[in-house]
Structure 1
């Protein structure tokens, strides 16, 4: 959980922006809610390495250096992250880390960096090596750096990292970059996970969710499929769309990395990002993602997902998404949810999380749970709890 500069600011960042953002994260309750990382994406680097071949910050934007900024961020109780690339250059043609992995990892460790987002632009000669080898080289260098640095692969789902990234990284992007759109993709974006066009920079929220139908079972502690940063608070979606966005990222166990300018959030976006019950789904002790249930879903209209919970009294979560064009009633048969028919109905209470209300015992709701007038693009989140 944390914040990243890219979605809103692209490469236009400086130390004052990062400091004021960190201050806001602390003041507005994000730190207390569990958001712990402040991540600098592209834009922090100088155009060239120094005389010793080391990465160096842009002296105009970061005149005090990254070590000083890291000390400041740590002083507020956060961790700090940087961006680099497995190619010769990064996406804006600043120096990548190919051929400099050990030196760069040692430099980041010396600066006090806690997280590395590692991109896949600028392959060129580096592209003659398999993507797995280029990303493994930095993993090895980070392990030898003497500092515990979270390693986040950003290679856009290229060559299906859910099959191999768990061997040397903590998270991996499942697809191309997210777009600030709930349902409209950029041209040519493939909606499934297993395709060569991963959608470099135009994947909608709904398509990210669609791709996870095939990938949710790969989620596990220590290696998380990353659906990319949250577009909540960027002014591109309605309130119920932002709720759907947050609920699925949390229940699917994707990292929760805010992409908005937290200094200028609406109250509704702030309330969504700080919702403790949804965050609890993300941070549940079991670490098991919800799975799509095609037998009780209707393609093009209704999606039903469910999964187990183990923290506190919570035992099961159900997500019911209306992604049709009109409001609709959603009926969830108990026999369609794995294990639900075996529960002692009177012992389990059902809570509507976004509605912030209890719906009664499972037994009171009968053989199917009926959700009335669910709005277009709205997701109902139901949590079953035992006494």
Structure 2
């Protein structure tokens, strides 16, 4: 296993956000790719939107419906515009987005910074302003922007930053010219050039890795990367860990799909990391278990916190030494602040149940010498109080998500006098010895 030094992990210190008035909070919604790829039409997609309404997901905050690749004809019009596939959208793209809006959704669409999309349809390189006008006219206000079919270096004379900036510039220019709200831009750069360092200057989110898969090893690998870059997320700019696979072909159905506990871990981690939450499963077949995970209001409340935009971050790795990169066993102990209390996430990356112990003051957000109430964000119950430390039993590949709130000073006379007793001194400068 690779053991990395602390100084090499931070990349940029903090994130530079493109604060243009949109995208303050991460989006919640649906994306068509992981379920349908290119095999869909407007009727099939509207059935997913209607299922979201029926299952209460729209009410829970999932207000975006994202149309991914393969929606267009293979060739542009004689005027050079992208043309919606008439077989998939026989009533036109405007009609489709109007139906989505009647249901209560905002609409997002997909394109590419190269000559073609990853599916081989017209990309937007060299046509940024024209395509932006088309997307806006169709009724879309969010753009997922991919990274396939890149022109030769001698053509672009730019790296990924410059190619993506062409669309950012087009968005800014159109907003100024028309007085309209800028379109949100989600960069899909796959993490090759560390977008968590620079992409916040261009868009509201950026993909950090390749495509997610609906099994535990894929989740663990992504969480391992997140262990080192979670601090790069804040208001208006955030790491995108790819789509939610919760409910893929029904939770717990082999081969390869997530168990119920793994699906809870997936959703909890993505939400508390403040990633965009875009459902990538067939909701017309969703079980009650699937909906119970996706609609967890306590977790979503942290995800949509209006006052604190930072993600949780590890305070201890657990199985491995701190700052160890291991795609099988990422960091297990995480914490962060919120408007509703101090967040703790305990992630059991092992194949057996584990009793996970920690000192409260391992979290930077905890005050020493205080007692904290403990709220479980999955059972939705208050579970007494904790003083100095606590233990939680977590199932294999499972998660515990806790919210702690200060309820007063700890009892007098507790020993050791400090939770970190090795740092504790008397007024005369001598160390306390446990």
Question: What TM-score, normalized to structure 1?
Answer: 0.89
Aligned partners of 1:281, 1:110: CA distance in 2, in Å?
Answer: 34
Aligned partners of 2:282, 2:233: CA distance in 1, in Å?
Answer: 29
Instruction: List alignment gaps of at least 5 residues for structure 2.
Output: 1-27, 250-256, 321-328, 408-434
> Following superposition of structure 1 onto structure 2, how do residues 173-184 of structure 1 map, counting pairs within 5 Å?
173-183=207-217
State the partner residue of 2:405: 385
State the partner residue of 2:380: 356
Alignment partner of 1:134 is 2:163 = yes
Deviations 1:208-248 (A, max 9, x none): 11101111111010011100000001031000000000000
Q: 2:97 aligns with which of 70, 78, 81?
A: 70
State the partner residue of 1:307: 336
**Is the alpha carbon distance of 1:301 and 1:176 closer, same or farther for their aligned partners in structure 2, counting shifts above 3 Å?**
closer
**Cα displacement (A) at 1:36:** 0.8
**Cα displacement (A) at 1:127:** 6.1
Aligned partners of 1:106, 1:318: CA distance in 2, in Å?
Answer: 44
Contact residue 106 and residue 142 of structure 1 kept, 8 A: no
**Cα displacement (A) at 1:284:** 1.5
Contact residue 224 and residue 331 of structure 2 kept, 8 A: no
State the partner residue of 2:413: none
Which structure is higher in RCO with an 8 Å CA cutoff and minimum separation 6?
Answer: 2
Alignment partner of 1:261 is 2:282 = yes
Deviations 1:309-334 (A, max 9, x none): 11xxx221100111112111111112
Alignment partner of 1:276 is 2:297 = yes
Aligned partners of 2:32, 2:381: CA distance in 1, in Å?
Answer: 35
**Cα displacement (A) at 1:357:** 2.3
Aligned partners of 2:103, 2:365: CA distance in 1, in Å?
Answer: 44
**Is the alpha carbon distance of 1:343 and 1:226 closer, same or farther for their aligned partners in structure 2, counting shifts above 3 Å?**
farther
Aligned partners of 2:147, 2:187: CA distance in 1, in Å?
Answer: 9
Aligned partners of 2:295, 2:330: CA distance in 1, in Å?
Answer: 29
**Cα displacement (A) at 1:339:** 3.7
Aligned partners of 1:385, 1:49: CA distance in 2, in Å?
Answer: 57
Alignment partner of 1:290 is 2:312 = yes
**Cα displacement (A) at 1:343:** 5.9
Contact residue 336 and residue 365 of structure 2 kept, 8 A: no
Deviations 1:286-329 (A, max 9, x none): 011111113x622248710000011xxx2211001111121111
Q: 1:143 aligns with which of 139, 151, 172?
A: 172
Contact residue 349 and residue 398 of structure 2 kept, 8 A: yes
Aligned partners of 2:197, 2:246: CA distance in 1, in Å?
Answer: 30
State the partner residue of 2:273: 252
Contact residue 119 and residue 154 of structure 1 kept, 8 A: yes
Q: Considering only aligned residues, what root-mean-square deviation do their CA atoms show, in Å?
A: 1.6
Alignment partner of 1:210 is 2:236 = no
**Is the alpha carbon distance of 1:281 and 1:49 closer, same or farther for their aligned partners in structure 2, counting shifts above 3 Å?**
same
Secondary structure (helix, strand or coil) at the match of 2:101 reads: helix
Moved more, 139-148 or 26-35: 139-148
Secondary structure (helix, strand or coil) at the match of 2:364 reads: coil
Kindly tell me the number of residue pairs found equivalent between the two proteins.
Answer: 357
Aligned partners of 2:191, 2:72: CA distance in 1, in Å?
Answer: 25
Aligned partners of 1:43, 1:89: CA distance in 2, in Å?
Answer: 11
Alignment partner of 1:160 is 2:194 = yes
Deviations 1:340-370 (A, max 9, x none): 242631xx3101222332211223xxx3211
**Cα displacement (A) at 1:251:** 0.6
**Is the alpha carbon distance of 1:322 and 1:127 closer, same or farther for their aligned partners in structure 2, counting shifts above 3 Å?**
farther
**Cα displacement (A) at 1:386:** 4.8
State the partner residue of 1:321: 347
**Cα displacement (A) at 1:335:** 2.9
Moved more, 44-53 or 143-152: 143-152
Aligned partners of 2:136, 2:377: CA distance in 1, in Å?
Answer: 41
Instruction: List alignment gaps of at least 5 residues for structure 1.
Output: 184-203
Runs of 4+ with >6 A deviation: none
Aligned partners of 2:104, 2:364: CA distance in 1, in Å?
Answer: 41
- State the structure with more CA Rg: 2
State the partner residue of 1:199: none
Secondary structure (helix, strand or coil) at the match of 2:332 reads: strand
